[in-house]
Amino acid sequence: MRIQLAKQLLDRQIVDVDGRLVGRVDDIAFAVDEEGYPYVDCLLTGQAALGLRIGGRIGRIMTAVADRFTDDPPVPPLRVPLTQVDRVDSVVRLRCAAADLPPSPVESWLRRHLIDRIPGANRASG
């Protein structure tokens, strides 16, 4: 069966097992098995992955902005192993919770330096 990976995966939303948004598929990482055949290893999400995919000046700006909002640049993309993908339909559905994936460095920085400083930000709404 032949599939067009870019058409089937790129720019689709990624949602966890509970339906929470994880991000969008910004790029695809390949690996090569011991027999020399390439396979999809991970889906990449984040500004670094998107910046590299877009390339050029705009891509470099996107990556620089992501790096600015982290404590430890350069920001690596979030790697979602293909083994965690349950199915692909209008979105990429994972078989794990978003909390089981590594946190986004940009989101972590924004939470520590901006969101947590808002009065009442740590209280649940209800």
Q: Note the CATH architecture for domain 5-117.
A: Roll (2.30)
Whether the predicted pLDDT of 1 surpasses 50: no
Q: What is the mean pLDDT of residues 79-90?
A: 92
Dihedral (CA of 53, 34, 2, 42) sign:
negative
Tell me phi and psi for residue 19, to 5 degrees: 85, 10
Q: What is the distance in angstroms between the CA of the first residue and the CA of the last residue of the chain?
A: 49
State residue 47's pLDDT score: 81
- CA 104 to each of CA 18, 31, 99, 111: distance values in angstroms, whole numbers, following the listed order: 18, 23, 11, 10
State residue 28's pLDDT score: 92
State residue 126's pLDDT score: 45
- CA 55 to each of CA 8, 17, 50, 51: distance values in angstroms, whole numbers, following the listed order: 21, 32, 8, 6
State residue 72's pLDDT score: 75
Q: What is the mean pLDDT of residues 88-100?
A: 92
Q: What is the mean pLDDT of residues 29-42?
A: 93
Q: What is the pTM for the complete model shown?
A: 0.74
Total residues found in the chain within this entry:
126
pLDDT in tens, 9-26: 899 999 999 998 888 999
Strand-pair partners of 28: 43
